[in-house]
Amino acid sequence: MRARDIMTKEVTSVRADLSVELAIALMLEKRISGLPVLDPDCAVVGIVSEGDLLARPELGTARPKPGWVQYLISPGRLAEAYARERGRRVGDVMTREVVTASPETPLDEIVDLMTRRRIKRVPIVEGGRLVGLVTRADLLRSLRRALQEAREAPPRDDAAIRTDVETAFVDAGVIPLELIEISVVDGEVGLRGSLTDERQRAAIRAAAESVSGVRAVHDRLTWVDPMSGLVLLSTQEADPRGGTRAV
Amino acid sequence: MRARDIMTKEVTSVRADLSVELAIALMLEKRISGLPVLDPDCAVVGIVSEGDLLARPELGTARPKPGWVQYLISPGRLAEAYARERGRRVGDVMTREVVTASPETPLDEIVDLMTRRRIKRVPIVEGGRLVGLVTRADLLRSLRRALQEAREAPPRDDAAIRTDVETAFVDAGVIPLELIEISVVDGEVGLRGSLTDERQRAAIRAAAESVSGVRAVHDRLTWVDPMSGLVLLSTQEADPRGGTRAV
């Protein structure tokens, strides 16, 4: 998938000369955490977000004044920092370096940008103009649809499911396949055997649950702590439902 | 102000065994970007947020599989990472290291935590139980109120405003006071004179606008570029309103 497939097209944006007070009102009312800042040609000149408004004298959260050494280094940059922290116009407080993408950018590149730059939204630009916005919530919507579709998949043959679960375990690469016995009845996967590390349990369940047609996973795997000799069963054994359902 | 004064008390939280699909539905419906994860005693055991759900095979955004060297290093941790990226339960994908604060934590410490750890919300814990949540939006609400109150302050004597503007310029420490002429008529501040750096303009406006009783700032300051000899006036000189209003 690409940015085009999941981006929001109706983007709430502001101009640099809007007051900070009105920009905040807009963010709170629409329950969004940031706004692209556009010039009259709809080019993105900045982004103003919650993060730009946390350190403020009005909240008693402004940073301590810099020492005299820093004044010698760059009075111009200090003037800028002062305006950023106290400004009443969007243009004074916004972040000017904006990471943008095109409608054709693949989702994995968008996620990579968000993760590395720790940003919440990527403006989508075409021909120098803002055409959309991909937010983390847009990605969640997409993931929710995929999980829903997987859950609503039609029933499958138990033998085919069993083969796929085995393949998923092999693909995961972190599951001791030779120690695990897999059974499938009416789309419900039963697992017996032992683990070499208690942390494998969640990986095994995740791998089994990701197979199409699986309706529940019954984990009866045990792990023997090599230090204490303590035997650990799945906590869900105590669950009267007898398994983790696929929802 | 302290966490207690601005925290949200009605916190939407989830249990670790809830499905990822339902947690996403909750986040999208309530338009929130993260949920504290509680155990049956209401202790915070994790947080699940948008950031925990960006890298997923369902979206085609999962990270590439690690090489064989990493398997030798720690198979247990790799199993954990696998479950984190594919898990269908909140407990598998949530972030376990949660930064919390107490109701008495001052706001500047909360902001410092948010900024340094790059987090969006701080669960407020008292006696081991969750009692509230401070989000960035809670801080915005507080800032909005402060800006509103400042704007609605009653009119003040022009001479008193002039003195306060001068003090604000001195306090800012980045404004060449000796080059600037300040006049105040009916709460509107007029500024003439020259800048030593164009970046001082925003700082000067921010300092003047932060003075109680100021209704508008008319910036007629000039800056002569030492390299080109170019004279820069404020862009608002072209504005028919003739000034930056205090809203």
From residue A144, give the alpha-carbon distance in Å to each of A51, A241, B20, B58, B142.
Answer: 27, 25, 9, 9, 33
B4: phi then psi, degrees, rounded to nearest 5: -50, -35
Q: State how far the alpha carbon of A71 is from the alpha carbons of A74, A147, B176, B202, in Å.
A: 6, 55, 13, 17
Element (H, E) at B174: none
Interchain pair B53, A143: CB under 8 A: yes
The conformation of residue B31, written as its DSSP 8-state character, comes to T
Could you tell me which of B28, B30, B48, B29 has the C-alpha nearest to residue B38? B48
Report pLDDT for A231. 72
Q: Give tens-digit pLDDT for A71-104.
A: 666 778 888 889 999 999 999 999 999 999 999 9
Q: Given a cut of 60, is residue A244 above it in pLDDT?
A: no
CA distance linking residue B143 with residue B140, whole number of Å: 5
More confident call, B199 vs B99: B99
* β-strands B188-194, B216-224 pairing: parallel
Q: Which of A32-36, A195-199, B6-10, B82-86 has the lowest mean pLDDT?
A: A195-199
Q: Would you state the CATH architecture of domain B158-245?
A: 2-Layer Sandwich (3.30)
* B27 lies within 8 A of chain A by CB: yes
Say if the Cβ atoms of A83 and B51 lie within 8 Å.
Answer: no
Q: Is the model's pLDDT at A242 over the cut of 50?
A: no
Q: What is the pLDDT of residue A12?
A: 96
* Beta carbons within 8 Å of A44's beta carbon, 6+ residues apart: A36, A37, A38, A98, A100, A123, A125, A130
Which residue ranges make up each domain of chain B? 3-145, 158-245
- Give the type of residue at A210: S
| pLDDT grade for B232, boundaries at 50, 70 and 90 | confident
Could you tell me whether strands A180-185 and A129-135 are parallel, antiparallel, or unpaired per DSSP bridges? unpaired
**Disruptive mutation site among B12, B151, B174 for chain A (greatest number of A CBs within 10 Å):** B174
3-state SS record for chain A:
CEHHHHCECCCCCEECCCEHHHHHHHHHHHCCCEEEEECCCCCEEEEEEHHHHCCCHHHCCCCCCCCHHHHHHCHHHHHHHHHHHHCCEHHHHCECCCCCECCCCEHHHHHHHHHHHCCCEEEEEECCEEEEEEEHHHHHHHHHHHHHHHHCCCCCCHHHHHHHHHHHHHHHCCCCHHHEEEEEECCEEEEEEECCCCCHHHHHHHHHHCCCCCCEEEEEEEEECCCCCCEECCHHHHCCCCCEECC
| Cβ contact B208:B214 at 8 Å | yes
Instruction: Name beta bridge partners: A184.
Output: A189
Provide ipTM, 2 decimals. Answer: 0.84
Name the pLDDT band for A238 (thresholds 50, 70, 90).
very low
- pLDDT, greater one: B99 or A233: B99
Q: Tell me what pLDDT residue B72 has.
A: 63
Residue A234 pLDDT > 60: yes
B180, β-bridge pairs:
B193
| Cα-based angle B13, B14, B17 (whole degrees, multiple of 5) | 170
Of the residues A63, A77, A140, the best mutation for testing chain B's interface (the one with the most B CB atoms within 10 Å of its CB) is A140
Interface test with A, best of B111, B169, B219 (most A CBs within 10 A): B111
Q: What residues of chain A lie within 8 A of the CB of B54, using their CB?
A: 111, 114-115, 136, 139
Which residues of chain A make contact with B115, given a CB cutoff of 8 A? 51, 54-55
DSSP codes, B131-142: EEEEEHHHHHHH
Best mutation target, A7, A8, A21, to test chain B (most B CBs within 10 A): A21
CA distance B134 to A100: 30
**In the 3-class helix/strand/coil scheme, how is B184-233 assigned residue by residue?**
EECCEEEEEEECCCCCHHHHHHHHHHCCCCCCEEEEEEEEECCCCCCEEE
- Tell which B residues from 32 to 91 touch A, by Cβ distance under 8 Å: 33, 50-51, 53-61, 65, 71, 75-80, 82-83, 86-89, 91
Between A20-30 and B136-151, two packed helices, what is the crossing angle to 10 degrees?
140
A170 to chain B, any CB pair closer than 8 A? The answer is: no
Q: Are strands A180-185 and B34-38 parallel, antiparallel or unpaired?
A: unpaired
- Chain A contact for B92, CB < 8 A? yes
d(CA A46, CA A128) in angstroms, rounded, equals: 13
Kindly state the average pLDDT of the residues B159-167.
95
- Per residue in A100-157, pLDDT tens? 999 999 999 999 999 999 999 999 999 999 999 999 999 999 999 999 988 888 889 9
CATH architecture under which domain B3-145 falls:
Roll (3.10)
Nearest CA-CA distance, residue A2 and chain B, Å: 10
CB contact under 8 A, A54 and B174: no
Of residues B234 and A79, the one with the higher pLDDT is: A79
Distances (CA, A) of B109 to A42, B122, B147: 38, 11, 21
Count the residues in chain A: 247
* pLDDT reading at B2 higher than 90: yes
Closest residue of A to B5, CA-based? Answer: A59
Closest CA to A84 of A110, A102, A57: A57
CB A211 within 8 A of CB A217: no
Percentage, residues of chain B above pLDDT 90: 69
State residue B242's pLDDT score. Answer: 44
* Mean pLDDT to the nearest integer, B158-187: 92
| Per-chain mean pLDDT for chain B | 89
Any CB–CB contact under 8 A between A12 and chain B? no
**Structure tokens of A1?**
């998938």
Closest by CA to A122, choosing from A57, A34, A63, is A34
Phi-psi region of A102 (alpha: psi -120 to 50; beta: other; left: phi over 0): beta
Q: How far is CA B47 from CA A114, A147, B35, B143, in A?
A: 19, 20, 6, 26
Q: If phi over 0 gives left and psi between -120 and 50 gives alpha, with beta otherwise, what is residue A230? A: beta
pLDDT in the model for residue B140: 96
What's the token pair of residue A113? 């940008």
pLDDT, tens digit, 9 for 90 and up, residues B91-137? 999 999 999 999 999 999 999 999 999 999 999 999 999 999 999 99
